[in-house]
Amino acid sequence: MRQVIFFCSAAALLSIGVPEARAQWAVYDGANHVQNVLIAARTLQQIDNQITSLANQAQMLVNQGRNLASLPLSTRKSHRRVVHRVRL
């Protein structure tokens, strides 16, 4: 019987309501902020490296095109035959 009264009393107290916690503060984590900035800096460095790499590859393709264009006609024909065989 005591347990029933206890549980009913507890339920009545809980049903009255508990005030909301309104004192919420924004927390600034300096170490997390520093880590995020370092990750962003590394990411930008990687993007810069990729851009440089792509520019170098583009220049390499331009140079290869110039080299192929300057080959003698007989060499170009033999290369075309090889490319044709590779495609088959």
Q: Please answer whether residues 71 and 79 qualify as being in contact, where contact means their C-beta atoms are separated by less than 8 angstroms.
A: yes
Write out pLDDT tens, residues 64-80: 999 888 888 777 778 78
Return the structure tokens found at 24: 């919420």
Query: Which amino acid belongs to residue 71?
Result: L
Of the chain, the end-to-end C-alpha distance in Å amounts to 92
| pLDDT value at residue 8 | 64
> Could you give the C-alpha distances from 78 to 6, 37, 41, in angstroms and in order?
99, 56, 50
| pLDDT value at residue 47 | 97
Distance separating alpha carbons of residues 27 and 50, to the nearest angstrom: 36
Among 6-15, 27-36, 40-49, the range of highest mean pLDDT = 40-49
Distance separating alpha carbons of residues 53 and 46, to the nearest angstrom: 10
